Amino acid sequence: MQIVLTEDQELLAKTAADFAAEHSPIKRVRDLRDSNDPLGYSRALWKQMAELGWVGIPFPEAVGGAGMGLAELAVVLEALGRSLVPEPFLSTVLLAGEAISRHGDDAVRAEWLPRIVRGEAVMACAYPETTSRYALSQVATRCEAAGSGFRITGEKSHVLDAAGCDGFLVSARSAGADNDPQGIELFAVSADAPGVEIVGQTRVDHRNCAIVRLQGVEVAGDARVGAPGRGHTVLEDVVDRATVGLCAEMLGGMSRAFEMTLAHLKEREQFGAPIGSFQALKHRAAELFVEIELVRSCVMAAARAVDAEASDARKLVSLAKARCSDAFVLAGNEGVQMFGGVGMTDEYDIGFYLKRARVAEMTFGDAAYHRSRWAQLSGY
């Protein structure tokens, strides 16, 4: 495994950075929030990203994808993460899309993947519940046999990009106690299926997120993704992939927040000198720099390990997410502190990074969760 960008990956990074600068500077996130945009992202821009080939990066060429890996997608997500671009990569590509692509049968693949790759379908992955925290095995939503299919009842929350989506995967239990890893099914459900109610949630980062209620929702038997009762395995696989994608986004976000802070340290004068000349602030800036450099190595390694199906890939995913969580939160907190009073104002952008850092930290498991997972995978 080489922890270095190929020439093609460098080119891709440049293209994505140019695209974000032109179409989605940080001001766009502010405008989407201030206009109470119900989607929180743009379908038109998503279509453009699909036309550039980014949405199809990890999918097979047979369904219109590029057949590439997380190493490539991470490069794009890092570039977009710098200005907190809110388009639904994690939900549509890495969670629902990859679950269907890697674990679905031909029928469900044919129904969803071509539309996803073309940027026409946005798909959520409704697995978290109010009490599940970060545990993928905690599923209280139930399903029961109904004719040749199933009937699902339950409630999901904190479902990324569910508001205004075309369809979603939902986890539901056919057997076992609420926290049993066995007995979990995953189904692809159309957003307009009878009995589905999607209620938008507003979180501190104002990204798309929703509660998904299912009241006796009926699905056909071939809507199941993965083997019977083995939905947990599918979720573990795709949530790891989405975690690496989120880490890349977080790396971009923390890098940009740090650059903004550094620029402020050089410009802002107090006591007749730039505040960046004071050693108390220099050392804090240098320490943050160190953290971000370490994060970059971990994110690159995790993406490559997952692509290569390395034996320690899961550990590297936890390493990347634990460090990304701590470092992005630190970059947000230190940024606001070093900006001082203006950092607390809504007028300045640094606050957007602090808020996004917190949401990203608590998506797919925070640092403590991933340290515990590292320990478990290491045999202690």
DSSP lists the bridge partners of residue 126 as 170
C-alpha 164 chain-centroid distance: 17
Minimum CB distance to another protein, residue 356 (Å):
22
Minimum CB distance to another protein, residue 13 (Å):
14
The first and second tokens of residue 270, run together, are: 């107090």
- Choice between 227 and 294, CB closer to another protein: 294
Please choose, from the candidates 45, 43, 69, the residue with its C-alpha nearest in 3D space to the C-alpha of residue 57. Answer: 69
CA-based radius of gyration for the chain: 21
Minimum CB distance to another protein, residue 232 (Å):
20
Determine if residue 160 is left, alpha or beta; phi over 0 gives left, psi from -120 to 50 gives alpha, anything else beta: beta
Q: Which amino acid is at 127?
A: Y
- Choice between 15 and 372, CB closer to another protein: 372
Minimum CB distance to another protein, residue 338 (Å):
11
- Choice between 71 and 322, CB closer to another protein: 322
Please choose, from the candidates 160, 324, 321, 161, the residue with its C-alpha nearest in 3D space to the C-alpha of residue 257. Answer: 324
**SS3 label, residue 53:** coil
At CB < 8 A and 24+ separation, what contacts does 50-54 make? 50/117, 50/118, 50/119, 50/120, 51/119, 52/15, 52/19, 54/16, 54/89
- Choice between 281 and 344, CB closer to another protein: 281
- Choice between 192 and 286, CB closer to another protein: 286
Q: How far, in Å, CA of 42 to CA of 47, rounded?
A: 9
- Choice between 49 and 306, CB closer to another protein: 306
Minimum CB distance to another protein, residue 130 (Å):
25
- Choice between 229 and 274, CB closer to another protein: 274
User: In this structure, how many other beta carbons lie within 10 angstroms of the beta carbon of residue 346?
Assistant: 10
What residues make contact with another protein under the rule CB under 8 A?
2-4, 262, 265-266, 273-274, 276-277, 279, 281-283, 285-287, 289-290, 293-298, 300-301, 316, 318-319, 322-323, 368, 371-372, 374-376, 378-380
Minimum CB distance to another protein, residue 137 (Å):
16
The first and second tokens of residue 302, run together, are: 């995790």
Minimum CB distance to another protein, residue 362 (Å):
18
